[in-house]
Structure 1
């Protein structure tokens, strides 16, 4: 079905119902129905497992060295990424 643009709640409803998905978070400042930050895909009759989709572009496990901007390629938020990853794995281990 054609649900039109991103502001159409029917597109969101169709996607979450068809995929047994739950929106867990959005990109900061982008809250339309197609910019999922994190989703949980719950079991269906076809797929019995649970998956976490992480689509936030700010999660960068390995940053490139960038001259004077970031000469060592370090991510000052690496601890947040590690915590999110650990929490996700711990959560999935309960499913």
Structure 2
């Protein structure tokens, strides 16, 4: 069954802040959500921080190269459960 809420977190070279941001989202009282982290080809280990979380609510996507924000939006609309597709 699809989740009720999709939280989308775009990141780029955010090693210093991504863990704190994920923790904040995971600590919410509402639990029927997924967290979609989109890494725009970070070069600082942001992906390692995200992968350190073993929570089934976290979906991680990493772009192999930096992608324009409009293309990112198109990707999200077509591929994620934000619009009814189960992850």
The structure whose residues are more often helix, as a share, is: 2
Give the structure-2-normalised TM-score: 0.29
Whose RCO is larger (CA < 8 A, sep 6+)?
2
The structure whose residues are more often strand, as a share, is: 2
Give the structure-1-normalised TM-score: 0.28
